[in-house]
Structure 1
C-alpha cells in the first residue's frame, strides 16, 4: 500500500501485480479495483480533538510510508435487497455546480470589483502575491483566461494536477466551468498563483460521471505537495482551495444510516482530509453552497431544496458560500440553509458572494458567470487577497473565516439566516478587523 500510494502522489500510476493481488486478498469477495488505481493515505482516519492538534506531526501522520490506513477505490456488486458492507465508504457522483439561471447578467466584472473594493485591497498590498489558489474543477484554458483578464496571470503548471485518464496538460483543458472559476478568483486576487486541479475530469472511463475519488486524490496530492513531503514542491506560504462542485441529491449516495455515506456523514474519510488541510496544514478551503435554491433549483436537484447544503459544503472547517447579484439580491438558485441534518454546524451557508455577472464569458459571449460556482471563487480570491499579508501561522482558517462572517454585510441585520448566512462578503472590512488595513 505504501509504495502504491507514494507512486500515485508523485505522479506514477503503474500498479504492480503484487499490489493488485494484495488488494484482492484484503477486500471482500467480488471487489474490483479501479484502474488507474486510487490509493490514498488517510493517517489514522480519525478527526482529532482540538487539544491534540499542536502535538501532531503531519509528515508522520499522512506520509504514505507511515500512514496507518489507506483508501482504495473500487466497486463491489450488491443485490437490490443486499446490504453494502460497512467497511465501504461512498464514492458518489459529483458535478460542477451549474445553474438553471437563464436570465441576463446583472452587472459585470467591474461592478464586482467595485463592490469588493479591490482598489483599497490593492493599495494596502492585498493582491494575492505569493498565495497559491488551487482551482479544483474541470480544468483551465489559459489562452481564454488571459484574454478575458487582459493580462498574463500567474500559474504553476508543475504543481498542478491532471488525472491520468486525461490527455490535455494543465492550463490547456477545454474552455468551460474551470476557466470561469479561475477568472472569478483572479478578479479579486490578480497576483495570486493558480494551480490547475482538473479533478472533475477524472472519470474512470468516458461513459461515467466523475465521482468523489478524484477529489480525494486531489486533496491528498495538495497536502503532500504543500506540507507532507520531505521537500514540498508548493512553496507558497498560503494555500486557498476553491471548490465549485458537489452532490445534488441523496439518491446518488449510499442509503440513509449507512456508516459510509457521504452527504450527512461527518466521519467520511474525505472530511478527514479536509480537516487535516484546514486545521493542521492551515489551508483555506472554500465550497459552493450549491444551486438547489427554493426559487430556481437546478434540474439535478430533482426539486429537493431542503438540506441541500450537504457533503463537504456542510463541513465546519470550510467556508460555504451562497450567491447574490451585484445589487445584493439573493439569486434564486442559491441553496438555502440550514445544512443537512447530521453535520456538526447547521448554520450554512457562512455568507454569500457575487455571481450572475458578465465576466469570463467562458460559457459564451454575453453569458454571465453564474451559480454558486462563481460566488465560491470570488470568495476564494477575497481570502487569497487577505492572505497576502496574513500568513496562516498568524491566523488559522478558522480565525479568518470568523472574521469574514463577522464583517459580512448582514441581510437582514440580526445574525445568521438561512438565505444570506451572515451576510454579503466584505474583504476590506475583514482585513480591517484583522488589523491589515487602518
Structure 2
C-alpha cells in the first residue's frame, strides 16, 4: 500500500505490472483499436494510485534492464509483464519512487515536434531537394518506394492536402495505421500540420511509398486537454507496429517498413529528476528502447530527428540548453539520427550539435539531410518545411527508396545505417564530427554501395 504521507502533487508515470486477466483483456482491446476502459477497471492497484484507463495495457515481457528482445516479449498472450499509465501520489519531498507494489516506475515524459525555431526565409524548394538527392537516378533504377511503408509517427496526416500539393493522393493504408484511443479523427483525415509536412517530405525520394498514419503526438494524457504526446503513446504506437510487422510478418503487398520520428524531448526538466532509474532522457534501459530494438532487429529502419537546440538558434523550449541536447530515443544506437542543412549544404543554426546527453551514445547526429525549403505549405504558402523534423522525414524517404528492392544480400537495419554513414558527403576530415555527423545523406551513393545502382 502507498503510505499516507503529506503529498504535494501527483505524477503521471509508466508502471510495470504482473500479468493478470484484466491487463490481458485491456491489451487485447488496445491491439484491436477499441477502448480498453472496462477491462482495465478490474486490475487492482494500491490506495491513492489512479490508472489512466484510455491507455490500457501494453506487454513488455520480463523485468527491467537488459531484457531479452524476442517475439514472446511483446505477445500479449505470453508476456509476463505489462506497462500501464498511472498517476501516483508524490510525497512533499517530491521524490518519485523507483518502484511501487513490486513494479518498476518509468518516466512518461512529454515529447514534441522538432520544427524550426527560425524565422528566416526558405532556402530552395522541394525540387532542389530532389536534385540534391538524385531522385531521378533512384527512379530510373526502380527505387521509388513501391511496396515500402513509411510510418509517420507524428500528429496525423491530412491526405487531401497532400493530394492537392502533389497533384494526386499518395498511397495510405488506413488498416495498418494506428490512432490513440482518445483520438476522434481517422487515418488520413487529421488536421493539416506537422505530420502532413513530414509525410510530404518523406515522399520526395519515395513517391510511391505507402504512408501509415501514426498520430502518437496527438495522444492526450490523463487530465491533459492539450495535444501533447508522451513516451507512453509512442510505446503504444510501436507495439502496434510490432504486432503487425514482427509478430505477424509484413502485411500483404508490403515488404519493408521505415518508421519516421520527427519528435523528441526539449529539456531534461520535462523528465524525472537526474539519477532516477526510470528516467528517459539519459537511460538506455527505459522500456521504450525495447520496442525500438524489436523493430530494428526485425530489419525495420527507424529514423529520428536530432534536436532543434542548436547553439546559434535554439528553439524556445530548449531554455537555452544547447549542450547534450540530443536526448532519449534520438540517441539510441539502433536508430538513424538526423541533423539539418540547407540545399546549399550549410548546417542550420537550430540543428543541435553532438555529443549527445551524457550516458547515451555520444556520436549523434549520424548524418545531415536537407531542410528549410518550400515544400508542403502545411502552415503558410511561404513557410519552409524546417527543423530537424523535415531532415528526418527526407531521410526516411531516402531509406524507403533504398528498400524498394532487396539488395543482393539481405541488409539489416544496422547495415543500412552503416551504408548511409559510409557514403555521406563530407566537407572536412573523414569520420564523425559534432556538427555534421558523418556528412550529408547521399542516397544514390548508398544505393551503389548496396548493389542497387550500377
Give the TM-score normalised by structure 2.
Answer: 0.90
Equivalent residue for 1:210? 229
Indicate if the aligned counterparts of 1:45 and 1:269 stay in contact, CA closer than 8 A.
no
Residue 13, structure 1, aligned to residue 35, structure 2: yes
> Following the alignment from structure 1 to structure 2, what is the Cα–Cα distance between the partners of residues 209 and 278?
26
Equivalent residue for 2:411? 395
Counterpart of 2:368 in 1: which secondary structure? Answer: strand
149-158 or 289-298: which moved more? Answer: 149-158
383-392 or 282-291: which moved more? Answer: 383-392
**Residue 245 of structure 1: how far off its partner (Å):** 0.6
Indicate if the aligned counterparts of 1:38 and 1:213 stay in contact, CA closer than 8 A.
no
2:275 to 257, 273, 281: 257
**Residue 255 of structure 1: how far off its partner (Å):** 0.4
Equivalent residue for 1:356? 372
Equivalent residue for 1:128? 145
Residue 272, structure 1, aligned to residue 287, structure 2: no
Indicate if the aligned counterparts of 2:217 and 2:227 stay in contact, CA closer than 8 A.
no
Unaligned segments of structure 2, at least 5 residues: 1-22, 99-103
Equivalent residue for 2:101? none
Equivalent residue for 1:435? 451
> What RMSD in Å do the two structures reach over aligned CA positions?
1.8
Indicate if the aligned counterparts of 1:238 and 1:392 stay in contact, CA closer than 8 A.
no
Residue 292, structure 1, aligned to residue 290, structure 2: no
Counterpart of 1:89 in 2: which secondary structure? Answer: strand
Indicate if the aligned counterparts of 1:46 and 1:272 stay in contact, CA closer than 8 A.
no
Which is strand-richer, 1 or 2?
2
1:418 to 431, 434, 454: 434
Cα shift readout 1:82-138 (whole Å, capped 9, x = no counterpart): 421112100011111122110000010110000000000000110000000000001
> Following the alignment from structure 2 to structure 1, what is the Cα–Cα distance between the partners of residues 239 and 113?
20
Equivalent residue for 2:244? 225
Residue 67, structure 1, aligned to residue 89, structure 2: no
Equivalent residue for 2:170? 153
**Residue 232 of structure 1: how far off its partner (Å):** 6.1
Name the CA shift for 1:353/1:47 in 2 (closer, same or farther; >3 Å): farther
> Paired residues, what number?
425
Equivalent residue for 2:15? none
Equivalent residue for 1:332? 349
> Following the alignment from structure 1 to structure 2, what is the Cα–Cα distance between the partners of residues 262 and 201?
20
**Residue 15 of structure 1: how far off its partner (Å):** 3.0
Name the CA shift for 1:178/1:208 in 2 (closer, same or farther; >3 Å): closer
**Residue 166 of structure 1: how far off its partner (Å):** 1.8
Name the CA shift for 1:7/1:357 in 2 (closer, same or farther; >3 Å): same
> Following the alignment from structure 2 to structure 1, what is the Cα–Cα distance between the partners of residues 396 and 451?
20
Equivalent residue for 2:114? 97
**Residue 210 of structure 1: how far off its partner (Å):** 2.4
Equivalent residue for 2:61? 43
Unaligned segments of structure 1, at least 5 residues: none
Counterpart of 1:158 in 2: which secondary structure? Answer: helix
Equivalent residue for 2:425? 409
323-332 or 384-393: which moved more? Answer: 384-393
1:185 to 202, 212, 216: 202
> Following the alignment from structure 1 to structure 2, what is the Cα–Cα distance between the partners of residues 431 and 31?
53
**Residue 46 of structure 1: how far off its partner (Å):** 5.7
> Following the alignment from structure 1 to structure 2, what is the Cα–Cα distance between the partners of residues 217 and 392?
35
> Following the alignment from structure 2 to structure 1, what is the Cα–Cα distance between the partners of residues 436 and 142?
29
> Following the alignment from structure 1 to structure 2, what is the Cα–Cα distance between the partners of residues 413 and 365?
39
**Residue 22 of structure 1: how far off its partner (Å):** 2.1
Equivalent residue for 1:309? 326
Name the CA shift for 1:282/1:32 in 2 (closer, same or farther; >3 Å): same
Cα shift readout 1:29-69 (whole Å, capped 9, x = no counterpart): 321101313311112256769xx87xx4x2x3321011121
**Residue 148 of structure 1: how far off its partner (Å):** 1.1
**Residue 211 of structure 1: how far off its partner (Å):** 1.6
2:43 to 22, 26, 30: 22
**Residue 391 of structure 1: how far off its partner (Å):** 6.5
Cα shift readout 1:197-220 (whole Å, capped 9, x = no counterpart): 011111134246322111110000
Cα shift readout 1:121-159 (whole Å, capped 9, x = no counterpart): 000110000000000001010111111122221110111
Indicate if the aligned counterparts of 1:47 and 1:275 stay in contact, CA closer than 8 A.
no
**Residue 235 of structure 1: how far off its partner (Å):** 5.0
Name the CA shift for 1:104/1:327 in 2 (closer, same or farther; >3 Å): same
> Following the alignment from structure 2 to structure 1, what is the Cα–Cα distance between the partners of residues 318 and 395?
24
**Residue 261 of structure 1: how far off its partner (Å):** 0.1
